[in-house]
Amino acid sequence: MIDKITNIKIDGEKQVISAFVEMLGLCPRCKTKENRTQVINAYNFAYEAYNGLKRKTGEPFVMHPIEVARIVLTEIRLGINSIICALLHDVVEDNEDISIEDIEHKFGNQISSIVDGLTKITNVYDGQQNLQAETFRKLLMTIPKDIRVILIKLADRLHNMRTLHGIPENRQIVKAGETLYVYAPLARKLGLNKIGRELEDLSFKYHLPDSHKMLLKIIEDNQDKRKNVINNFTERMKPILKKSGIKYEIIGVRKSLYATWVKMKENQIPFDEIHNFQTMRLIFDPKIRDSERMQCYRIYTLITEEFTPRKGSLQDMVKNPKANGFEAVIVDVMDSEGNWKEVQILSRRMADIAERGYSSEKGDHHEKYSERDKWIKSISDQLINPTSNAPDFLDDFKLNIYTSEIYVFTPKGKIIKLPKGSTVLDFAFHIHTQLGLQCIGAKVNKKLVNRSYVLNSAEQIQILDSVSAVPEKNWMNQVVSARAKASLKHYFKKQFKDNVRQGEIILKEVQSSLDFETDQTTINKLVKHFHCKNKRDFYNKIGKNIILKEELAKNFRTVNSTNLFGNLIPSIFKPKSHESIHVTKQEFSHKKPFEINETSGEPGYSLALCCNPIPGDKCIAYKTSDDHIIVHQIGCEKAIRLYAEEGRSTAKVKWGIHTLTQHLCKINIKGFDRKNIVLELTEVISAQMNVNIKAIHIDSSNGIYDGDITLFVTSLNSLSSLISKLKKIPNIRTVERILLQQK
């Protein structure tokens, strides 16, 4: 094969040549001389750019773009131009002698435009924005222009995750956090479910290795049981489908390990209670004479005649596909062991979209897919305020990545798709920003409701508005869609700027009326006196008439007549603990662990209340802009977000021995109720283990015992010892640590 290819660099490693030739052989459009020459030229260009460079794994660097091109070709099924871009995607970033202009000169404007979108930011970072979040924003903003940018980036991230073992542990965790927070959900939203599952599993493996190993073992132990369920379903359906002349196949599609772990944690349920870990997917070859939807329903009828369906479980996603293009008729049926199992009924076309979504191109001709175009338009709608800072932009974008959809109607019957949980206010902003800002309520199915009313699918909404309506801060809590939140943020930022400007004018008027010169020291004293965060907050409160002219005039001479700030501030006023600045003497670096030891003085860190870590937990330390260190459990949602947005401000935590300080945690205990069980529990906890109990809550019903106990422990080791001891009490079935939510 190599000999048949002309103009290819063959003086490199055999591994590289073999990989490239194999990729080329998998490309159906590379059969023509023109296309083959274009791909070979791109390979040669990349080969020269990376000549002699090695990856952390030890393999030649050029292997990475070759493997990305293979993923683009075989797993996303893009065309020639996309394969070329995959081969070139890192050359500008990694070789300072190559520019975007060089790419454009050699490969044309279309290729250079995509490569530019894939190139990480190197010049726009000003120290104020976060580089990682800014890079994500640049990538996301390319979607409406050319969706291939993000598709190739997902292929790039997938190969990086497959070879993550070659980089240091601290970088592994950062990459895993980025992937869980942005890339995996984005792949799902685009309909690349197979890639999304793999990204989640690989991230889970490196982010929470112990939990990954535990769950993987459970799944492997249940593998035969899952095979039996599919075999039983297949055997029972085979004669029925054969009699109906339906050509089909039945496969099992499992949830990702990470999604399963999240569901187990959120619902506090064991693996056995997750009924849809493995979905049975019945894929049929459609008959031309009937619509695919009608054939789905015909098969649904055959299945529910053989198996008992769960009431209310039928979902028709052929009539109303998901935004990522997923179509299927779905129903839960009872298997031979009395368990509910999810069955998806799809045509061959639907099954392909279920794994690759509408984002897959047929070549590079941009064939129109109505659902994909609608999704891209929705992305454009989310970019209505692209000047917002990068973390806010990313948060707004992710609101619509994670949510499922509802379908509602305008008064004229037009279907509107909104995120699940949307309110009247979300609907108003979807129609028009000004309508949202002036919304006072709505008529839903001709009944009057307020603007915070949560919408349900199939409802018809007529917005009621008033020019006198003024948005308030609590409106942010009444919306869930990215568009509504972005519109409100933009409005409040504009109002704040206007108030600051007005406040400065009012302050000058007061100065003029008093014939008083105001220097910076006086302004700072006034800021302190009125308990404002900073000067802009001070001016804002003046502009909003929270601080009146009379109060300003009264306090001008007072603050100028004293040099003692303490005379103006009540002695009882102290900043909240989470607002204080703790500068640790320990040098902070994302490249090495942040060591935490017990000290008699004030610590240089605080423990996050969202996840309440205790000494011994796997944690990250996050350094804020004011040099305060906050410690999160590594599996905490905020920790994952911090890794994604501000990886260089995070570090792993290394705990020293902790025997003095006490930390709150909560455990859940389940078992069979009997006399004196509470006495035995408290005896073990307090007397035997010398652990203090803060609160205990017990429920007993129908002989089942379920209790939550909040405790003070010194470390994870002491908690583990306690849990082991409690499990030995007769009739106690499970003891596990659960999330402690503090008010």
pLDDT at residue 627 tops 90:
no
Per-residue confidence (pLDDT) for residue 130, from 0 to 100: 58
The label of the residue with tokens 């078992």 reads: 671
Which string of DSSP letters, residue by residue, matches 523-578? HHHHHHHTT-SSHHHHHHHHHTTSS-HHHHHHHHHHHHT---GGGTS-TT----GG
Pair of tokens at residue 447: 């009944």
pLDDT at residue 624 tops 80:
yes
Residue 13 phi, psi dihedral angles, 5° rounding: -65, 145
Residue range 466-485: average pLDDT?
88
- Identical topology for domains 216-356 and 663-738: no
Give the chain's mean pLDDT.
81
Residue range 664-676: average pLDDT?
87
The pTM (predicted TM-score) of the whole model is: 0.68
Cα–Cα distance measured from residue 356 to residue 77, given in angstroms and rounded to the nearest whole number = 8
Q: With the CA atoms of 103, 107, 109 and 112 taken in that order, what torsion angle do they form, in degrees rounded to the nearest 10?
A: -40
195 compared with 562, residue with greater pLDDT: 195
pLDDT band at 732 (very low <50, low <70, confident <90, very high): confident
Kindly report the length of the chain: 743
Domain 216-356 CATH assignment equals 3.30.460.10: yes
- Tell me the CATH number of domain 663-738, given options 3.40.50.150, 3.40.50.10860, 3.30.70.260, 1.10.10.10: 3.30.70.260
The superfamily (CATH) of domain 403-478 is Beta-grasp domain (3.10.20.30)
Per-residue confidence (pLDDT) for residue 362, from 0 to 100: 46
Closest by CA position to 184, among listed 121, 117, 262, 112: 262
Secondary structure of 471-536 as H, E, C letters: CCHHHHHHCCCHHHHHHHHHHHHHHHHHHHHHHHHHHHHHHHHHCCCCCHHHHHHHHHHCCCCCHH
Pair of tokens at residue 562: 């004293």
CA distances from 605 to 117, 715, 718, 741 (A): 39, 17, 22, 20
Per-residue confidence (pLDDT) for residue 280, from 0 to 100: 93
Per-residue confidence (pLDDT) for residue 393, from 0 to 100: 63
pLDDT band at 281 (very low <50, low <70, confident <90, very high): very high
Domain spans in the chain, listed from the N-terminal domain onward: 2-192, 216-356, 403-478, 490-567, 577-655, 663-738
Radius of gyration of the chain (CA): 30
The label of the residue with tokens 């796997």 reads: 618
Contacts for 50 with CB less than 8 Å, ≥ 6 apart? 60, 61, 62, 65, 91, 94, 95
pLDDT digits (tens, 9 = 90+) for 129-185: 456 666 677 677 777 677 888 889 999 999 999 999 888 888 888 889 889 888 898
- CA 171, distance to chain mean position in Å, is 19
The label of the residue with tokens 């970033």 reads: 93
Pair of tokens at residue 598: 């017990």
Cα–Cα distance measured from residue 62 to residue 90, given in angstroms and rounded to the nearest whole number = 10
Which string of DSSP letters, residue by residue, matches 120-137? PPSS---SSS-HHHHHHH
pLDDT digits (tens, 9 = 90+) for 322-369: 777 789 999 999 987 888 889 999 999 999 888 887 654 444 444 444
96 compared with 717, residue with greater pLDDT: 717
Per-residue confidence (pLDDT) for residue 527, from 0 to 100: 81
Per-residue confidence (pLDDT) for residue 185, from 0 to 100: 85
Cα–Cα distance measured from residue 584 to residue 598, given in angstroms and rounded to the nearest whole number = 13
Please report, rounded to a whole number, the percentage of residues in the chain having pLDDT higher than 90.
Answer: 27
pLDDT at residue 715 tops 70:
yes
Per-residue confidence (pLDDT) for residue 198, from 0 to 100: 95
Residue 490 CB neighbour total at 10 angstroms: 15
pLDDT digits (tens, 9 = 90+) for 403-428: 567 778 888 878 788 888 899 999 99
pLDDT at residue 385 tops 80:
no
Domain 2-192 CATH class label:
mainly alpha
Pair of tokens at residue 375: 């999704």
